[in-house]
Amino acid sequence: MFGSCLNYTTLRLLGEPKDNNDALARGRVWILSNGTATAAPQWAKIMLSVIGVYDWSGNNPMIPELWLVPRFLPIHPGRFWNFTRTTYMSISYLYAKKFVGPITPTILSLRDELYNVPYSKIDWNGARGICAKADIRYPPSVIYKVISTCLNKFVEPILNFWPANKLRERALRHMMEHIRYEDDNTRYVGLCPVTKALNMICCWVENPNSDTLKRHLPRIHDYLWVAEDGMKTKIYDGAQNWEITLIIQSFCSTDLINEYGPTIERAHSYLKKAQIRRNHPGDQSYWFRHISKGSWALSTVDNGWGSSDSTAEALQAILLLSKFPPNLVGDPMEEERLHDTIDFLLSLKVWFPTLIKGFLGEVSYIFSSYH
């Protein structure tokens, strides 16, 4: 249901007619026969709410005030795994703002196409807990359902009225501060296409004419590429560093390095330039970031998120190249920069550390290792 609703909606927004397209017709039949868009999972409901095809009241509460709880508490979102944290940050901002894009004739038509009953008669409160069986990987626990119901019936109404709404305004300012920090320190590439798109929408909500939004737009292309069967979107902005390090290692393990010296020299030069040379500015703990100096990202230096596996493979490639004459592969990397790399690796035990301690930290460790 997740992919069906979002792909159907996207094609309609791109101008595909609902009646003269067999794929859309079959997709619509499947959606309507499997629970309609009210059975879409949470992320899909959020995106449909943003464009105006689903009502915000049909979403489980994602209160931004959670970012204001004491930082030592394990429930603070800043202590979550980085992908979870950055996604929740943008989603809760949009949820609190209840932002809805322009209601166009296409949007009004989609409100009819995705549901079996008139849009105005949908039970949005009942739709909060509905999810198609095909999309349920782990059924929500009883505890989650109780917490979600309490937040929806008691906490959320209070936070929308004075004086509690002042707390919400403070939370939104705090979150936008973190969103801007993430944008600045990834040079508007973002951690992944999901967080980039969400951050870009948040920037639009704050100010559609801002310089921040203008800086976002050119970096959309970092995730797009045209294949023989059309345009595709990558799940990351690339794996340039990862691929180059493995290629270098392959060449070093054969005699090809002597045959392709100029190619390896250019790869060596790129790898040295791709190293992250500084930590992100400010207090790392305030921004819930880990040291990055001396590391390599999976993709490029612009991404800014150093990872253990990319850094380890890059270090191995650099050390292998140091065994060959500089006139063949270029000058070796400075020893001080290698020390920075080792310091970074020794500070980690997973791809990117969680800030949760104890049992929850171990769960996050297993989760991040699995992915």
Tell me, what DSSP letter sits at residue 233? Answer: E
Say which residue, 20 or 324, is predicted with more confidence: 324
pLDDT band at 114 (very low <50, low <70, confident <90, very high): very high
Q: What is the secondary structure of 101-120 as a DSSP string? A: ----HHHHHHHHHT-SS-GG
Backbone angles phi, psi at 115, to 5 degrees: -135, 155
Q: Is the pLDDT of residue 8 over 60?
A: yes
**Overall average pLDDT of the 31-52 stretch:** 96
d(CA 96, CA 202): 11
pLDDT band at 365 (very low <50, low <70, confident <90, very high): very low
Say which residue, 364 or 308, is predicted with more confidence: 308
Say which residue, 275 or 129, is predicted with more confidence: 275
pLDDT score at 360 = 53
Tell me the three-class secondary structure of 52-78, residue by residue. Answer: CCCCHHHCCCCCHHHHHCCCCCCCCHH
Q: Are 152 and 61 in contact (CB under 8 A)?
A: yes
- Location of structure tokens 């490639």: 317
Backbone angles phi, psi at 306, to 5 degrees: -65, 145
pLDDT score at 354 = 56
Residue 115 in tokens: 């549901």
d(CA 104, CA 166): 33
Those residues whose C-beta lies under 8 Å from the C-beta of residue 280, and which sit 6 or more positions away, are: 181, 185, 287, 289, 292, 304
Record: fold of 2-227: Glycosyltransferase (1.50.10)
Q: Is the pLDDT of residue 371 over 50?
A: no
Q: What is the secondary structure of 111-147 as a DSSP string? A: HHHT-SS-GGG--HHHHTT---GGG-SSPPPHHHHHH
pLDDT score at 363 = 46
**Overall average pLDDT of the 229-241 stretch:** 91
pLDDT band at 366 (very low <50, low <70, confident <90, very high): very low
By annotation, the residues acting in catalysis are 309
Q: What is the secondary structure of 7-21 as a DSSP string? A: HHHHHHHTT--SSS-
Q: Are 355 and 74 in contact (CB under 8 A)?
A: no
d(CA 113, CA 111): 6
pLDDT score at 339 = 97
**Overall average pLDDT of the 48-68 stretch:** 95
**What is the sign of the dihedral through the CA atoms of 9, 12, 18 and 24?**
negative
Query: For the chain, what is the mean pLDDT?
Result: 91
Distances (CA, A) of 284 to 208, 259, 293: 30, 45, 12
pLDDT score at 21 = 78
Segment 78-104, tens digit of pLDDT: 888 889 899 999 999 999 999 999 999
Q: What percent of the chain has pLDDT over 70?
A: 94
pLDDT band at 361 (very low <50, low <70, confident <90, very high): low
d(CA 368, CA 365): 5
pLDDT score at 235 = 87
Distances (CA, A) of 12 to 8, 15, 225: 6, 5, 22
pLDDT score at 368 = 42
| Entry pTM | 0.88
Nearest CA-CA partner of 221 in 302, 298, 297, 280: 302
d(CA 60, CA 63): 9
CA atoms within 13 A on the CB side of 236: 14
pLDDT score at 50 = 97
pLDDT band at 217 (very low <50, low <70, confident <90, very high): very high
- Does residue 163 have a cis bond before it (omega within 30 degrees)? yes
d(CA 289, CA 285): 6
Q: Where are the domains of the chain?
A: 2-227, 240-370
Segment 138-195, tens digit of pLDDT: 888 899 889 999 988 888 888 888 888 899 999 999 999 999 999 999 999 999 999 9
